[in-house]
Amino acid sequence: MLFIKLRNILCACLALTVLTFPGPVLAEYGLNLTQGVTPISREVYDLHMTILWVVTVIAILVFAVMFWSIFHHRKSKGAVAAQFHHSTGAEIAWTIIPILILVAMAVPATQVLIKMEETEDTEMTIKITGYQWKWHYDYMNEGFDFFSALDETSNTIRQLKSGLNPDEHENYLLEVDNPVVVPVNTRIRLLTTAADVIHAWWVPDLGWKRDAIPGFINDNWTYIEEPGTYRGQCAELCGRDHGFMPIVLKAVSKEEYADWADEMKLAAAAAADESGKTFTMEESMAKGEDVYKTQCAACHQANGEGLPGAFPALKGGAIATGDLPGHLDIVINGKAGTAMAAFGGQLNDAELAAVITYERNAWGNDTGDLVQPADIKAAR
């Protein structure tokens, strides 16, 4: 009991300190749900407000009766407690009335839930796959796909002992290298799944979130009416870097989307052509550095020194300076029982060749090995 009292006093003091000296410790937050930018999100909001008022009125009535009874039937006024065991009428009333209230609230709630599940008559489909710790977007009607990960600046700032100030970077930890782009006024089907552990794709402005479960596909739909940039995060505890897995969705006009889609198709074709190219050491190192920053630096650090006890160092390490076939194998196929993912399904041959070349020659490793896309293709 003493411990509980001390704990409560400490919590009260901390709360008073925060309220008195808010400074940077108070995060920005709203006191209600966001109305969102989709018809479903607004229906959810309206339903929430309706039920909030219902329970508020119930609470006011119940507490009013309680306090009135306490005040008017107090002992100091000579009130004497009635002697009875039960009232059949009262028991029926306080059973039937709540049931009717619950049914009245359940009907519109069920209608909204059913509407959220109706994925027919969509105009385009995007498959979303969660990875530790990035998202993969496959535009199934367009024929291109890409990965979206934490932006390079946020990734650099959040590194251990970076010495950089997060407040100086707008949208710190809520920015990505490749946002998902969709057209407005278009009914879009979104399929969610995962390649490793359970994730959850959540953009509050859409009015819902969906779990991304390995081996299972959830589906939902959205219809965004207002152009803009909408941000979200993985809403499931998915591992060490759970807090560094943001979502950025850009809703643009249909004309802007068509231009962007054409650019993505050209980029996909160029990436496919690279798989048959022979790179110079300079070209491979430049490309490999870019791939390393987006795919590997989160665990092995930008300087290649890794995290002792968690992720091995690549700088002077046995993997990057040892047997080349072994290096190819662990990057392509991953390593069971560790956080090392299999990048064979995430990167193309040219990207894999470049990043392995970079790891074997950066930070003073200087093995001289130049891996080509053809080597990756043979190793697959």
Which domains, from first to last, does the chain contain? 39-79+86-117 (no CATH), 124-272 (2.60.40.420), 277-379 (1.10.760.10)
Tens-digit pLDDT profile for residues 168-180: 888 999 999 999 9
Instruction: Note the pLDDT of residue 23.
Output: 41
Residue 273: band (very low, low, confident or very high) from pLDDT cuts 50, 70, 90:
confident
Instruction: Note the pLDDT of residue 336.
Output: 78
**C-alpha–C-alpha distance, residues 308 and 157, integer Å:** 20
CB atoms within 10 A of CB 278: 10
Residue 6: band (very low, low, confident or very high) from pLDDT cuts 50, 70, 90:
very low
Instruction: Note the pLDDT of residue 25.
Output: 40
**C-alpha–C-alpha distance, residues 222 and 204, integer Å:** 12
Instruction: Note the pLDDT of residue 302.
Output: 84
Give the whole-number percent of the chain exceeding pLDDT 90.
52
Residue 330 has pLDDT above 70, yes or no: yes
Task: Tell me the residue ranges of DSSP E strands in the chain.
Answer: 124-131, 134-139, 144-148, 180-183, 188-194, 199-203, 208-212, 218-222, 228-234, 246-252
Tens-digit pLDDT profile for residues 19-48: 333 444 444 566 788 888 999 999 999 999
Instruction: Note the pLDDT of residue 30.
Output: 66
Pairing mode, if any, of strands 246-252 and 228-234? antiparallel
Residue 254 has pLDDT above 80, yes or no: yes
Among 240, 241, 219, 222, smallest CA distance to 180 is for 222
Residue 341 has pLDDT above 50, yes or no: yes
Instruction: Note the pLDDT of residue 120.
Output: 87
Residue 129 has pLDDT above 50, yes or no: yes
Tens-digit pLDDT profile for residues 278-290: 899 999 999 999 8
Question: Token match 């209600």: residue?
Answer: 32
Tens-digit pLDDT profile for residues 359-376: 999 999 999 989 998 889
**Which has more pLDDT, 346 or 222?**
222
**C-alpha–C-alpha distance, residues 175 and 154, integer Å:** 8
* DSSP structure string for 118-144: --TT-SEEEEEEEETTEEEEEETTTTE
**C-alpha–C-alpha distance, residues 376 and 380, integer Å:** 6
**C-alpha–C-alpha distance, residues 80 and 78, integer Å:** 6
Here the tokens at position 15 are 């709360």
Residue 345: band (very low, low, confident or very high) from pLDDT cuts 50, 70, 90:
confident
Here the tokens at position 88 are 């059949």
- Mean pLDDT (whole number) for 160-165: 82
